Structure 1
Amino acid sequence: MKLRLTLFWLSCLFATHLYATELGKVTAEQLLSMQHNNNALVVDVRTAQEWQSTGVIANSQKLESFDGNGHFDQEKWLANLEKLKSSPDQTVILVCRSGNRSGKIGQILTEQLGMKNVYHLSNGIQSWIKDGHPVKADCLTTACK
């Protein structure tokens, strides 16, 4: 009986691990491929000042994440994200300056909310620019196309 109970609990733990959603990291090249081939939604979570400073990835959507005090209004941000998505299961790729903020938001989406198909650009817009990929000047709207 103890063996059965032990096996039951082990199978529960293993099953939970199998179905856990994880945040994926993508390179600049993978982002471009996913954006073109999979209709991935690229969401830039930086601040307006950062968008102005470096520009944005073409066809990305701008959706500020943390306010000046470092607070993340999860409910409001998620509502705005849902408005940007073309389908509930659309792939989402988050972009920030270095990969830190996008990683934190991505973990909230995947680990706490169970969202699938969520990625973030490894090392952020800095790696994008360093790899020689173009940026568009910030056009002061929610999307630069």
Structure 2
Amino acid sequence: MLKNLTPAQLKEQKEQGAVLIDIRTPYEWKQTGVVPGSHLLTFFDDYGNYDIDKFMDEFQKLVPTKDTPFVLICRTGSRTSTVGNFLANQMGYKNAMHLSGGIFAWSADGNSFEAVKR
């Protein structure tokens, strides 16, 4: 089951060692910056397409076991809800979380961003 997090809860999870994964597009990363410490792994491209095998290959390098806690981040929480529910319900990941409200919620809460140099 996917757990919804507030920005404050995301910070707590980060401190406890959860893997942060920003699934937005490279353009979005450059536009706003990212939550400090996030791994960058696009799920949907600019056209809404995805390659599940490619994503899972990279995802499993970041999240090595089904018990490893991770937090997905996107712009509003919509994409992470879809992807997070897939990972929890279809793929069996037990500690799936996402930032409810996405990067907008992170920004509205007054949190800082890290610039992306890709």
TM superposition score normalised by structure 1: 0.77
Q: In the alignment, what sits opposite 2:93?
A: 115
Is 1:57 the equivalent of 2:31?
A: no
Q: In the alignment, what sits opposite 2:9?
A: 30
Larger Rg: 1
SS of match in other structure, 1:120:
strand
Report runs of 4+ in structure 1 exceeding 4 Å deviation.
none
Gap regions ≥5 residues in structure 2: none
> Within 5 Å, which residues of 2 pair with 1:118-133?
118-133=96-111
Aligned residue pairs total 117
CA distance in 2, matches of 1:69, 1:135: 25
SS of match in other structure, 1:119:
strand
Query: C-alpha displacement at 1:52, in angstroms?
Result: 0.6
> Within 5 Å, which residues of 2 pair with 1:1-145?
22-37=1-16, 39-85=17-63, 87-88=64-65, 89-140=67-118
Structure with a larger share of its residues in helix: 1
Gap regions ≥5 residues in structure 1: 1-21, 141-145
Query: C-alpha displacement at 1:139, in angstroms?
Result: 2.4
TM superposition score normalised by structure 2: 0.94
Identical residues among aligned pairs (%)? 37
